[in-house]
Amino acid sequence: MKKKTLLIVIIILVILLIAAGIFAYVYLGTDLLRSEKELFAKYTTQVVSEDEFFPTVLKDYETKKTMVPYESNGTISVDTEIIGDTTSTSMQEIQSALGYANNTSITFQGKVDNANNKFEENFQVNYTDSVNLPFSIKRDGDRYGILVQEISQTNYVAIDNNNIPGLLQSLGATDVTNVPNKIEIPEIESLNLTDEEKAHIKDTYITPMYEGISEDKFTKIKNEDGTVSYELNLTPEEVKQMVSQMLQTLSTDTMMIDKLNSIYSEIETDFNLEDDSSSSYYSSYYSATTTQTNTDPVTAEGILELKNEIDSETIEGGNIKITVTESNRSTSKLAIELTAGAENTSTTDTVISMQNDTLTNSTYSNPSDMFNSGTVSTQNSTDMTEETDEPDVILFEISKVQNDAANITYTANVSYNNEVAYTMNLGYTGLNTNNPTEMINMVMGDPESVLSTYSIQKNITFGNEVTIDGFDENTTVVLNNYSSEQLLPFLMQYVTRLGEINTNQMTQIGYPTDAVNPLMLWAGGVGIVSYVQASDTITNMPTMSEEEADAFNATFESYGGIEIRGSRVKTLVDTVRQNNLTAIDASEKVQVLTTAGESTVNASAVNQSYTETTYLQALNNTIQSGSTYTVSFGYDGTTGKITTIYILEANGATPGTTTETDTNTIGGTTTNTNTTGTVPPQIIY
């Protein structure tokens, strides 16, 4: 070969190699030469693929928390804002109460050792700078306890996560048939797909479905901020056809049918579901198949029946739009928009928008700055009284902003007709350090009436020695260890003491003692405002006095009835005695009478001689464990609390007048009574 010819061949080969490299880079390293359909698949897949939308640094951090002990501290706060008219008396009262709730915060500091199932967190509810309620929560293996320092500095009240049915029975539950011995979240092993199963699902269902969508259903959009979005638009009818085809394939796919049945069987076992067709989410589709003999919940016949039912449905109008957005060749947002068929509806033109644009190229010296640019704004609202043809639109969005490897923010929105009903920001800083921070901001409510913003900041420290002591067996009250006769008086005393503490603290901060605690407005503020705006009244709102009455009465009412065993009545009398011993004033004491009585007895009319310890002990000695009694109650007409308990023998006789042993009426000689059992726990305060 001549040198010139050889040189030309070499040049051509080099050019081809260079061209191949350029093409490989363009195709694999960039998004050029790819169709909208291919790019939609690429960036949608990133949301669930490894190390893309949820990067390795975040997964490593979550794993580290499960393996390495750490210390934590942080704050929790809620701010509820009433939107609209607040001039009515009712709304002014609500706004005043919300002011106390918005000024209340919770601070916490503690230690966590997830690898050994231990944690100890010290919380403090801060009503003001000087009025607060500290308490601690601890876990050691299967034991969970709470310590309220205002009640006791040393005595945890704990529950063992074992023999839960027995504990519930001690608290008055009657049917614990389906209650597990231990409460835990089971891991459904069948949900862990093998590589073979994943490949089978991809090749049999996902790929054929996706390849069946025509190219003209995909659209590329260049956004003003430099990002690029890829849209897939489908009609509900097209989605119905896809589902129908998948069900047709599934009906002959024995591998997947067996897999679905194994998943259901494991769920049924782990969650103690009854062997009942109503407990199966397949039952509505399979119960009508009279010829079915297979006992598995998922069968080929049932799948085909479901397919036929879907095929028979008529869907008119509407649209399903899935949009995936990429920034620097990485997925930054996924949105699913569901539009119903147009119909005549009355709409209100109110828009809520979340502004987080400044997050894209920002760094944060303070973690809380991450959300300072995230504001909720409301445009002017105009009520549209005329009928319109605007369809209903529901939008789900999740987006990510990652400034660098260690700082990530996720935002999730749910909107209805362009109004944001729910927003959550989840931010992480310092993920690759020993001092990471987690931030959560949630905004929820009714954009036309009230919005609540929940803020949580949690600072974590790795690297320090973490020691978490177990529970002291000498001072911890483990509820599982006591019978109902011992437990109910103790819990009644505990609740009563909490009520006293709350009343005292509300008085100190100038908050109405008959209103719900400000913390309860954290959870119920949105609902209360909406209710008051609708009814313009607060007369039916729950008050602290009503809640106290319900808790107070529940302690005694569980013993009421027309045929109560004497052993239960003796426990009731002892419960009254314990109540009267700890009552803060005479109006809190309950009298016990051995006569028929009135349903309403005011506290001021209670005869205190029938509330004293000596009287109640004497009465208790006259009650026979093997006899039966009727128990009824008298209530205070103002507070609703029980003031009087009436006890008669089932035959209408006065207790103590006739027994099988030597007895006399109260005031004479009483029978000898032997008391056995563990001494009930006493509260130290």
3-state helix/strand/coil string of 359-372: HCCCCCCCHHHHHC
pLDDT at 380: 38
Q: Which of 430-439, 460-469, 647-656 has the lowest mean pLDDT?
A: 647-656
C-alpha to C-alpha distance for 311 and 304, rounded to whole angstroms: 10
> What pLDDT shows up at residue 626?
82
**How far is Cα 618 from Cα 631, in angstroms, rounded to an integer?**
18
The candidate with the shortest Cα–Cα distance to 400, out of 389, 390, 412, 388, is 412
Cβ–Cβ < 8 Å for 484, 171: yes
> In the structure encoding, which two tokens stand for residue 67, read together?
């393996």
Decide: 634 and 600 in contact? Cβ < 8 Å: yes
Of the candidates 681, 683, 657, the one whose C-alpha atom is nearest the C-alpha of residue 670 is 657
The secondary structure of residue 684, as a DSSP letter, is: -
3-class secondary structure, 186: coil
Q: What domain range is 621 assigned to?
A: 543-649
Q: Is residue 627 part of a domain?
A: yes
- Confidence band for 527, pLDDT divided at 50, 70 and 90: low
Mean of pLDDT values over 86-110: 85
For residue 118, pLDDT over 70 is answered with yes
Q: What is the pLDDT of residue 72?
A: 95
What pLDDT shows up at residue 148?
Answer: 92
Residue 450 three-state SS:
strand
**What is the rounded distance in angstroms from the CA atom of residue 366 to the CA atom of residue 361?**
15
Q: Is residue 585 part of a domain?
A: yes
Two tokens, residue 539:
């007369």
Closest CA to 482 of 146, 157, 153, 174: 157
588 found inside a domain: yes
Q: How many helices (H) and strands (E) does the chain have?
A: 16, 24
Where residue 523 falls (left for φ over 0; alpha for ψ -120 to 50; beta otherwise) is alpha
| Distance of alpha carbon 452 from alpha carbon 80, whole angstroms | 4
What are the tens digits of pLDDT across the range 57-84? 899 999 999 999 999 999 999 998 888 7
What is residue 172's DSSP assignment?
A: T
In this prediction, residue 126 has a pLDDT band, given cuts at 50, 70 and 90, of: very high
Dist. CA 166–CA 182, nearest whole Å: 11
Mean pLDDT of 528-553: 61
Residue 130 lies in a domain: no
Check residue 137 and report its DSSP letter.
Answer: E
Specify whether the CB–CB gap between 525 and 452 falls below 8 A.
yes
Q: How far is CA 476 from CA 143, 466, 484, 650, 681, in A?
A: 11, 22, 18, 40, 10
- Quick one: pLDDT band at residue 291, thresholds 50, 70, 90? very low
The predicted model scores a pTM of 0.66
Is 161 within a domain?
no
Mean pLDDT across the stretch 40-55? 72
Q: Distance between CA 242 and CA 211 in Å, rounded?
A: 11
Residues above pLDDT 70, as percent of the chain: 74
Q: Report yes or no on 355 lying in a domain.
A: no
DSSP 218-253: EEEEE-TTS-EEEEEEE-HHHHHHHHHHHHHHHTT-
Pairing type for strands 132-140 and 118-126 reads antiparallel
Alpha-carbon span 25 to 19, nearest angstrom = 10
pLDDT, tens only, 584-631: 777 789 999 988 778 888 888 888 889 888 899 888 888 888 888 888
User: Would residue 100 count as lying in a domain?
Assistant: no
Beta bridge partners of 536: none
Other Cβ atoms within 10 Å of 177 Cβ, number? 8
Tell me which residue of 541, 376, 343, 346 sits closest to 445, measured CA to CA.
Answer: 376
pLDDT tens-digit profile of 446-485? 777 778 899 999 999 999 999 999 999 888 999 988 887 7
Residue 528 amino acid letter: I
pLDDT at 146 over 90: yes
The CA-atom distances, in angstroms, between 475 and each of 34, 145, 155, 162, 582 are 70, 12, 5, 20, 21
The whole-chain average pLDDT of the chain stands at: 76
- Comparing 271 with 20, the larger pLDDT belongs to 271
Write out pLDDT tens, residues 313-371: 877 778 889 898 988 888 889 899 988 865 433 333 333 333 333 333 333 344 334 33
The amino acid present at 37, given as its one-letter code, is K
Q: Residues 374-392: pLDDT tens digits? A: 333 333 333 433 444 567 8
* pLDDT tens, residue by residue, 182-241: 887 777 787 777 888 888 888 888 888 888 888 898 899 999 988 999 898 988 888 888
403 is a domain residue: no
pLDDT of residue 389: 57
Q: Are 387 and 346 in contact (CB under 8 A)?
A: yes
Question: Contact 324/333 with Cβ under 8 angstroms?
Answer: yes
Amino acid letter, 456 = I
- Domain total of the chain: 2
Owner of token pair 């699902």? 201
pLDDT at site 20: 53
